[in-house]
C-alpha cells in the first residue's frame, strides 16, 4: 500500500540527527572526547546523546576496552549508515539546487601528491565554468588517500594504484611514465644506454613508505630480482629532486614532476632499459555510494575533454 510508511521508518524516528552525528564522530575519531572537540560540544553532552541513542534503539553501541570504550559491530554499521544518509542528503540539496537553475555545491576530491603537478590544470576549466561549486582537494600520499576512500571522506580520488579491497569504479585518464633521474653532471648522464643492474652501486633516493611511486619501483626491482636498498627516503617529490640535484643519489619519479626540459632543473633522465615504467593515473569513486551532481558533472566534463570512458574495478 502506498499509504504505508517505508519499512523501518518508524524505528528510524527513534533517533535524532544530533545523536547520530555524535555516534558517527565517536566511531570515526576513536573516542567521546575527540568527538566532542570535533563537534564543539561538551563531553557530557556527547555521552548523554550516545546513551539516549542506545536506549531508544535497544542496542549496545560501545563496550569497555582498557581505559576507554570500543564501538560494537552495531555501532560501526550505524556509523556507516549515518555517513550514507549524509551523502544522500548532500546530493539531494545539490540536485534540488540544480533543478532551480542554480550551480552550487561542494565537491571533495582526494589525490596523491604527484597529481598536484597536473590536476589543478585539469580542474581549472571546470572551476571556471561552475564558479558556484566549491572544490575541496586533499593532497596526501597513497596510504592516506586509501584511508580516506575507506571512510568515505571524498567522492573522487586521483591515484596511480587504486586499492583492490573496496568496491570502486575506476577511470584511467592519463599516462604516468616513471623515469630514473640523476644530477645533470653525473658520470652516467653521458651514457646512451644503461641497464638497471648497472646502477645498483649508486645511492638510491626514494619517496616515503606508503608512496605509490615507491611501491611501483619496489615491484619493478622484485620482478627483475634486483636488490637496490635506498639510501634515503623523503616525503615529497620536490625533496627527492633536491636530493638528486645535490648528488645524494639517483631516484625514480613520475615524469609529471619534472620540467619539460629536466636540464633546466639540473637533472637528467637516464636511458635505462625497461624505463620508463608505464603506469596510468586513475580517477576512482565508491560504487556503493551515489555521486553528487557536482561529481557527475566533473566526470562528464573530463570525459568530454579527455575522451576516455570509465570502467568498474
| CA separation for the pair 28, 264 (Å, rounded) | 46
Query: Given a cut of 50, is residue 312 above it in pLDDT?
Result: no
> In which band, very low, low, confident or very high, does the pLDDT at 95 lie, cut at 50, 70 and 90?
confident
Is the bond preceding residue 276 a cis peptide, omega within 30 degrees?
A: yes
Mean pLDDT along residues 76-103: 80
Residue partners of 198: CB distance under 8 A and separation at least 6: 188
pLDDT in tens, 69-78: 899 999 999 9
Query: Given a cut of 80, is residue 64 above it in pLDDT?
Result: yes
| CA separation for the pair 31, 34 (Å, rounded) | 5
| CA separation for the pair 107, 133 (Å, rounded) | 7
- Residue pointed to by grid coordinates 556503493: 288
For residue 227, what is its C-alpha cell?
A: 636488490
| CA separation for the pair 252, 237 (Å, rounded) | 10
Query: Given a cut of 60, is residue 1 above it in pLDDT?
Result: no
Report all structural domains of the chain as residue ranges with CATH numbers, in order of start: 9-75 (1.10.10.10), 81-174+280-312 (3.40.190.10), 177-278 (3.40.190.10)
For residue 53, what is its C-alpha cell?
A: 541513542
H/E stretch holding 188 reads none
pTM recorded for the entire structure: 0.64
pLDDT in tens, 229-248: 999 999 899 999 999 999 99
Amino acid at each position: 500500500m502506498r499509504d504505508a510508511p517505508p519499512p523501518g521508518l518508524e524505528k528510524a524516528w527513534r533517533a535524532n540527527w544530533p545523536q547520530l552525528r555524535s555516534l558517527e564522530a565517536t566511531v570515526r575519531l576513536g573516542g567521546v572526547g575527540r568527538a566532542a572537540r570535533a563537534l564543539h560540544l561538551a563531553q557530557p553532552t556527547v555521552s548523554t546523546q550516545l546513551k539516549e541513542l542506545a536506549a531508544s534503539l535497544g542496542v549496545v553501541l560501545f563496550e569497555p576496552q582498557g581505559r576507554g570504550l570500543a564501538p560494537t559491530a552495531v555501532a560501526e554499521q550505524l556509523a556507516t549508515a549515518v555517513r550514507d544518509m549524509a551523502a544522500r542528503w548532500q546530493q539531494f540539496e545539490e540536485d534540488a539546487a540544480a533543478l532551480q537553475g542554480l550551480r552550487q555545491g561542494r565537491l571533495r576530491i582526494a589525490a596523491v601528491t604527484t597529481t598536484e603537478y597536473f590536476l589543478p590544470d585539469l580542474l581549472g576549466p571546470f572551476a571556471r565554468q561552475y564558479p558556484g561549486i566549491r572544490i575541496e582537494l586533499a593532497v596526501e600520499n597513497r596510504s592516506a588517500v586509501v584511508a580516506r576512500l575507506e571512510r568515505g571522506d571524498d567522492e573522487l580520488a586521483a591515484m596511480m594504484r587504486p586499492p583492490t579491497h573496496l568496491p570502486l569504479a575506476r577511470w584511467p585518464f592519463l599516462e604516468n611514465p616513471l623515469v630514473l633521474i640523476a644530477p645533470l653532471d653525473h658520470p652516467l648522464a653521458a651514457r646512451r644506454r644503461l641497464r638497471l643492474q648497472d646502477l645498483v652501486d649508486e645511492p638510491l633516493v626514494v619517496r616515503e613508505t606508503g608512496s605509490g611511486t615507491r611501491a611501483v619501483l619496489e615491484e619493478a626491482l622484485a620482478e627483475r630480482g634486483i636488490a637496490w636498498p635506498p639510501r634515503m627516503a623523503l616525503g615529497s617529490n620536490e625533496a627527492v629532486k633536491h636530493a638528486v640535484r645535490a648528488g645524494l643519489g639517483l631516484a625514480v619519479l613520475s615524469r609529471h614532476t619534472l620540467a619539460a626540459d629536466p636540464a633546466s632543473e639540473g637533472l637528467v633522465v637516464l636511458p635505462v632499459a625497461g624505463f620508463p615504467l608505464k603506469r596510468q593515473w586513475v580517477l576512482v569513486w565508491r560504487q556503493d555510494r551515489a555521486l553528487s551532481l557536482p561529481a557527475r558533472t566533473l566526470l562528464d566534463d573530463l570525459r568530454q575533454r579527455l575522451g576516455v570512458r570509465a570502467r568498474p574495478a
